[in-house]
Amino acid sequence: MDFPPVTTLIPHRPPQLHVDRVVTANESGIVCETDFVPEHFPGHFPGRPIVPGVVMIEALAQSLACLAALAGERGQAVLTGVEKARFRGLAEPPVRLTFAVEVTDRRFGVTWAKGTVRQGDQVICTATLQAAVLPEGAA
């Protein structure tokens, strides 16, 4: 299935856009990908750049925001919590990372999800995310 460009789903733009494309999606989850190159992170660490953990968490959040947009939710999706983040490996550009997010609960306008970052078959990051969609025009 073809999905719309990520830039039509979420407001993020480079250099803060960390999701290149949606691979699969259904009502309970989404898988997105990104190709990182060394030029993304020239100062982290010079001579041997790695994808920062915070960028992996943000990419999971952006993936969840893409899922909300695909589900027709109107407004701005925002990350409201991160728990149990674990980093199990390094991602050294050039590298393709896959971001899988599975919704585990929805209540009172809040969504909880499990996120997994993979490099090939290797899991390099996991986290539990909490997010909400701010209605259009909300401050």
pLDDT digits (tens, 9 = 90+) for 55-80: 999 999 999 999 999 999 989 999 99
Instruction: Tell me which residues are annotated as active site.
Output: 44
Q: Which amino acid is at 71?
A: A
Span 88-138, pLDDT tens digits: 999 999 999 999 999 999 999 899 999 999 999 999 999 999 999 998 766
Structural domain includes residue 28? yes
- For residues 123 and 79, the answer to whether their CB atoms sit within 8 Å is no
Our count of domains for the chain comes to 1
Structural domain includes residue 44? yes
Measured between alpha carbons, how far is 101 from 63 in angstroms, rounded to an integer? Answer: 7
Measured between alpha carbons, how far is 108 from 45 in angstroms, rounded to an integer? Answer: 41
Structural domain includes residue 71? yes
- Taking the C-alpha atoms of 84, 132, 28 and 1 in order, what is their torsion angle to the nearest 10 degrees? -110
Structural domain includes residue 103? yes
Structural domain includes residue 41? yes
- For residues 117 and 99, the answer to whether their CB atoms sit within 8 Å is yes
Task: State yes or no: pLDDT of 1 exceeds 80.
Answer: no
- For residues 87 and 124, the answer to whether their CB atoms sit within 8 Å is yes
Structural domain includes residue 139? no
User: Residue 72's domain is classified under what CATH number?
Assistant: 3.10.129.10
Residue ranges making up the domain that contains 36 = 6-134
Span 19-57, pLDDT tens digits: 999 999 999 999 999 999 988 888 888 888 999 999 999
**Dihedral (CA of 109, 56, 13, 66) sign:** negative
- For residues 34 and 59, the answer to whether their CB atoms sit within 8 Å is yes
Structural domain includes residue 1? no
pTM of the predicted protein model: 0.95
Dig out the tokens for 17 from the structure. Answer: 């856009």
Structural domain includes residue 56? yes
